[in-house]
Each structure stands twice: as C-alpha cells, then as structure tokens.
Amino acid sequence: MDQQGVLQRIRELVGEAGLVTDAPARQARLVDERRLYHGQAALIVRPDSVDQIASILALCNEHHIGVVPQGGNTGYCGGATPFDAERQIVVCLDRLNRIREIDPVAFTMTVEAGLVLAKAQAAAAEHNLLFPLSMGSEGSCQIGGNLSTNAGGLAVLRYGTARELALGLEVVLPDGRVLSELKGLRKDNTGYPLTQLFMGAEGTLGIITAAVLKLFPAAHAIETAWLAVADIEAACRLLGVARQASGDALSSFEYVSGASAELVLDQVADTRAPLQETYAHYVLVEFTSPDSASGLRAGMERLLEVGMEHGWVLDGVLAESGPQRDALWRLRESIPEAEKHSGGAIKHDVSVAVGRIPEFAARLAAELKVLGDYRPSGYGHIGDGNLHYNLLAPEGTDPEAFKQGAGRQLSRAVHALAVSMGGSFSAEHGVGILKAPDLVAYKSPVALEMMKTVKRALDPHGIMNPGKMVPGS
C-alpha cells in the first residue's frame, strides 16, 4: 500500500465522524496553546475506540508514518503539535472519554484517556470522593495528557503528580498491541513497572487509552488564606509551620510575587486585591480535610500567629465563604492569562530543593540584572520547590522582539542556574519540542542513552511523536 492508500485506510477506519476536515477545527489542532508552533499534518483523526487506535498504529508502524497523540492541546512545550504535512498524522483522544467504573470501596476510578480533567473531578465528587489533580487548564486538558506529561498543578505537595495518582494504564503500543494493566492493584511486585514508562513520556512510546486513578475522601473542611510575607525565605519557613499546624492537612502552598499579583489586577476582569496594602510577596495557603470538625481554622490561626511572631507574615486574609475562596484562587490561577494579555512571557518551570528556593531566587535576580532588562512575573508551587519565574518584555518594548532576541539569553541563564543548583529545567510542563535542546544539554549521557534505548526497544521505527523529547527521534 502506498502512503495515500494508508491514509485512505485510516479515514475508512475512523469513518466520517472521526475526521477533522474543516479549516478552523484543523487549525485549532495544528497550533499549540502558547501559539509558539504552527504545525502541519497529513491527517487529523478522532478515533472512538481502543481497537481503532490499535489498527491505526499498526498501519502507521508498518508504513513508517509518524503519529502525534493529542489530548486537550493545552501543553506548554509543543508536544502535541505535528510537523510534517505528508508523513505525520494527529490522533485526538477526545472521543475516548468514558468513565468505565467508579469503585467507592477501592477508592478508584477507571476512565478513558480523553476524559477532560474537570469531568473526572466532577464524577468523583458525585460519589463524595476527590480526584485531587488540579490546574488552571482543567476545563480542557485530558487525563491522557495529564499522565503523558506527568502534570503537577496545585495540590502536588499533598497528593503527588499525575504519575502518583495512577494505579494502572491501558496503552496502545506503536505496533498496535495493547498493554492492559487496569487491575487497579495497590500492590503488585511482578516485574518491571512497565506502565510507569508511559507517564511523562509525552506520547513518544505509545498512546494511553485508559487509566485507573486513585481517589480520596472529598474535602468537607477547607481553610484558605492569602498571606503577605516578608520575602521568599519567610514563605519557605512558613511552609514547614503550615504542615505542622494543620496536622499535615496542607494541600496547597502557592507563591505569588507582588509583580504577578499586580499583573492580574491590571489585566484580568473581576479581580480585586484581597488586602488594603500592596506587598512584594504573597502565599496562598490551603488546608483541607474530609472531617468537617477537624479544627482547620484553629490550625490556620496558629499559622498566622507563629508567622507574625517571627515577622514572616506581614498581613493576611482568611476566606470566609466559597466565593471568597474562589476569588483568592482566581488571583493565583489567572496569572498565565494576565501574562498573555501583557504580550506573553518567556515561561520557566524550574525546580530546586525547597530549602534552596530563597538562594535560587536571590542568585537569579542578581544574574539576570547584569544580563539585561525584563519585567519579572514570579509565582509557582513553592511547596514543591517549583517556581515559574517568567520574563516579560520591558515596559514599552515589543514583546515578540524580546522573546526572540534579548530574552533568550536570560532564559538560558534561568535554566542553567536551576540545573547548577541540583534542580530541573522542567519541573512539571515536560520537554516536548520546546525544551528538547535543554534535555540534550542537561541530562546526563547515561540517562540520555537509556532513554534512547527504551525508545528504540518500544518504537523501533520511531513513529511515536517524532522529534519530541528523545534526541534524534
């Protein structure tokens, strides 16, 4: 069969309903969330069964056609964008969106990969259960995308990243075979933990079609505080106190710089400052518990007391209602939108050991100051040692010129410093195409060689997400 024949066979497999042909819908799939990449593909398909995906991959494997899996297309590194108008197809997962089972005894949920994260959360909530993965993109990103990027988000310090929330996977391998590990066992020491390979693989080893996810009791007590803190060091010291004072009920500990908060207040409608004064540093702290009489308010008050005694906390407000809580979270979650409205930022997603965050922030500010002008927007999951130290063009200058020019050197310095301090240049957003050069620069030769070996073993023809993550793929 020639290439046109293979594409025609795939069209027939998915049928009319499984083809994306109209121009605006194709365009939405060919451009990434940040509009950094404008891709091309021979075909964009939306299969609706595991069998269809298996047949598509078997055909592509046999005829050496590249396959780019796509979930909600909210990823930050161009991982879901295809780059070949003739030899790559996009496989969208959105029609594989069923909830196969919710097991309230085992506290698990078996769902298909195309299920939108917010829908998974809502389905768990209907059973008085919690699926704790949470992030600003949850209305669009999909479970398969979350697992493939090993996404982090807003509650990692309590519940872990996406990888830690999965008990099993179903994966279509590049040659069309299906690895089905959906038993949902919490204990199973029978060989290599194969499913782990696919989480964080960004679609380079196969297509995740379903997962067994861990659930937890729903939260019935929630205490949320927005605190102004003296500096980043004070924020880090407060983190340990928060864990102790809450009886380890701390579920989020997010840092927001004064600059990022101002950006939101300037750029995003219906946001307002929670405190009368403005400060240079804030943290958003949340305690949650399934037990409505768990005394979380007293714990939060103890946190404030200790924080103020030491001069770490300068000011603060506790949410007194659901809408107040939502307003505080809106300030934090709207930062990416505010950056977009300001012409876009060079984004960073670095991590270092939590205790080294203050040193990292101080050294970074000093290094960047020498290298050039920029406007900082710093925020992130400080409880995980994960900072988004983003750079906007200096006031009155062209954002695109900054991103393509002077900003690049600054950006390299951010990654270099994080790595030199034993950290990561990509804590939660993955590698994709954007950070593939960093992987080559910073990953150890042994680790890179092992990655290539795994890739060759599972995908000898290199059909899965070519050019993404794995060097030379």
Q: How many residues bind ligand FAD (CB under 6 A)?
A: 37
Instruction: Write the CA distances from 393 to 222, 334, 346, 373, integer angstroms.
Output: 38, 19, 9, 8
Task: Build a one-symbol-per-residue string for 192-231: x at contacts with ligand FAD by CB under 6 A, - elsewhere.
Answer: ----------xx---xx-----------------------
Q: Please, which residue, 132 or 380, has the CB nearer to ligand MLT?
A: 380
33 binds, among ligand MLT, ligand FAD, none (CB under 5 to 8 A by kind): ligand FAD
CB proximity list for 399: less than 8 A, separation 6 or greater: 342, 343, 344, 392, 393
Which of ligand FAD, ligand MLT, none does residue 388 bind to, with CB < 5 to 8 Å depending on kind? ligand MLT
Q: Say which entry of ligand MLT, ligand FAD, none residue 148 contacts (CB below 5 to 8 A, set by partner kind).
A: ligand FAD
Q: How far apart are CA 143 and CA 249, in angstroms?
A: 25
Half-sphere exposure of 373 (CA within 13 A, CB side): 9
Query: Minimum Å distance from CB 388 to ligand MLT?
Result: 4
339 burial type by CB count under 10 A (0-12 exposed, 13-18 middle, 19+ buried): buried
Of the residues 18, 79, 168, 336, which one makes contact with ligand MLT according to CB under 6 A = 336
Nearer to ligand FAD, 241 or 434 (CB): 434
Between CA 123 and CA 142 the distance in angstroms is 14
Task: With residue 282 as reference, give the H or E element that holds it.
Answer: strand 281-289
Which tokens hold the place of 99?
């909830």
Task: Name which of residues 79 to 138 contact ligand MLT (CB under 6 A).
Answer: 136
Order of strands across the sheet that contains 313-318 = 313-318, 221-229, 281-289, 250-257, 375-381, 386-392, 350-351
Q: What is the DSSP letter of 470?
A: S
* Binding residue (CB under 6 A) for ligand FAD from 336, 376, 383, 423: 336
Output the smallest distance, CB 112 to ligand FAD, in A. Answer: 9
Distances in whole angstroms, Cα of residue 443 to Cα of each of 90, 202, 264, 450: 28, 17, 35, 11
**Beta carbon of residue 8, minimum distance to ligand MLT (angstroms, whole number):** 40
Which of 375, 388, 415, 468 touches ligand MLT by CB under 6 A? Answer: 388
Site for ligand FAD in 120-149 (CB under 6 A): 135-137, 141-142, 144-146, 148-149
Q: How would you class 368 by CB atoms within 10 Å of its CB: exposed for 0-12, middle for 13-18, buried for 19 or more?
A: buried
Q: How far is the CB of 308 from ligand FAD (least distance, A)?
A: 30
Tell me the closest approach of the beta carbon of residue 342 to ligand MLT, in angstroms.
Answer: 13
Q: How far apart are CA 423 and CA 408, in angstroms?
A: 20
Q: In the range 423-452, which residues lie near ligand FAD by CB under 6 A? A: 428-429, 432
Residue numbers at the binding site for ligand MLT (CB under 6 A): 136, 335-336, 347, 380, 388
Residue numbers at the binding site for ligand FAD (CB under 6 A): 33, 68-76, 79-80, 93, 113, 135-137, 141-142, 144-146, 148-149, 151-153, 202-203, 207-208, 336, 428-429, 432, 465, 468
